[in-house]
Amino acid sequence: HEHIGIALRGEKVLSLRAEAAEDPSGPLIRQLAKDMLIAMKTHGGVGIAAPQIRVSKRVLIIHSKPNERYPDAPEMEPVIMVNPEIISYSECFDSMWEGCLSVPGLRGLVPRQTGVSVRYHDLTGKEQEACLQGFPARIFQHEFDHLEGILFPLRVA
């Protein structure tokens, strides 16, 4: 499979507010999700957002799995979210080390809410809601920032 490249900090696509997907269950979004999954797996990420493969659309994937930095991270199937919205945040914050495929070689301690309640469309076009805590909530907030043109160094305390 051709190598799907990751956009790097400084590229305009990463600073834009991504556009809503008109048809969450259409062929374009399904192909985009496939490409994002390949790129995420190829580069060993635990999440990815469409702007990172240079598509300015509001699609993100979270795929928490144990890794060397967070060996007790929950193992989950990849969750593909189209047009995600944040319904509410928890009150508590914590700081965790983050990395980003678009900012290679940099790690930063980022304060974020520990929990988040989200609404999104899945690839069948069905509206879903999810309450995320811990590492999945962390990844979601990091990926949602990508849809707003925000990279994690901007949030480093």
Ligand X SMILES: O=C(CSC(=O)[C@H](Cc1ccccc1)CC(F)(F)F)c1ccccc1
Question: According to CB under 6 A, which one of 14, 32, 36, 52 is a site residue for ligand X?
Answer: 52
- Let me know if 85 is a catalytic residue: no
Question: According to CB under 6 A, which one of 53, 80, 82, 101 is a site residue for ligand X?
Answer: 101
Helix (H, G, I), strand (E, B) or coil at 59: strand
Going 21 to 39 to 10 to 149, the CA torsion angle's sign is positive
| Beta carbon of residue 48, minimum distance to ligand X (angstroms, whole number) | 4
Question: According to CB under 6 A, which one of 46, 55, 80, 81 is a site residue for ligand X?
Answer: 46
Strand segments, DSSP code E, in the chain are: 47-49, 59-62, 79-89, 93-98, 108-113, 115-121, 127-133
State yes or no: residue 134 binds ligand X (CB under 6 A). no
CB-facing half-sphere around the CA of 81: CA atoms within 13 A? 27
Nearest 5°: CA angle at 151, between 146 and 153? 160
Q: Which does 138 bind (CB under 5 to 8 A by kind): ligand X, Zn ion, none?
A: ligand X
| Beta carbon of residue 43, minimum distance to ligand X (angstroms, whole number) | 8
Question: According to CB under 6 A, which one of 48, 59, 82, 118 is a site residue for ligand X?
Answer: 48
* Residue 83-122 contact track with Zn ion, rule CB under 5 A, x = bound: -----------------x----------------------
**Integer Cα distance of 34 and 85 in angstroms:** 22
State yes or no: residue 100 binds ligand X (CB under 6 A). yes
Over the Cα atoms of the chain, what is R_g?
14
Q: Which is nearer to ligand X, 82 or 101 (CB)?
A: 101
Q: Which residues bind Zn ion (CB under 5 A)?
A: 100
